[in-house]
Amino acid sequence: MTDGFMGPPWQMDWRLDALAAREALPAHVREIVDAARAELITAKDPYFRGIETDVGLPDGMQVRPILSSEPKGARAVFFDNGKGWLKYTFVPRTEDPQIVVEEIFWQ
């Protein structure tokens, strides 16, 4: 156990239906999802708040809030040039902060 707020890499948990949807994706798409996951768990701020904070993300990937009226609410990371997205929330607990993936979609 550490003193104070923990930092990256963050823990990531998947809802069972989101994990099943991920496993059903084609292998090349799962690789893209894994790259998005790597970006999220290593980000200093998994909510990518501020101006152009997601500018360092790989091409074809961006993070946006689901509702602009909820600054600490759910986010979507769009991947594969907008063909897919992953909806997540960040639980910034002092002990064991984590990202929770709620939904995944790709077409």
The string of pLDDT tens digits covering residues 57-96 is 888 888 889 998 887 889 999 999 999 999 999 887 767 7
Q: What is residue 3's predicted lDDT score, i.e. its pLDDT? A: 56
* Cα dist from 51 to 32, 54, 56, whole Å: 25, 8, 12
* Sign of torsion over alpha carbons 56, 53, 48, 82: negative
Q: pTM to 2 decimals?
A: 0.84
Mean pLDDT for 18-42 is 94
Of the candidates 38, 44, 25, the residue with the CA atom closest to the CA atom of residue 77 = 38
- Average pLDDT of the residues in 40-68: 83
CB 85 within 8 A of CB 78: yes
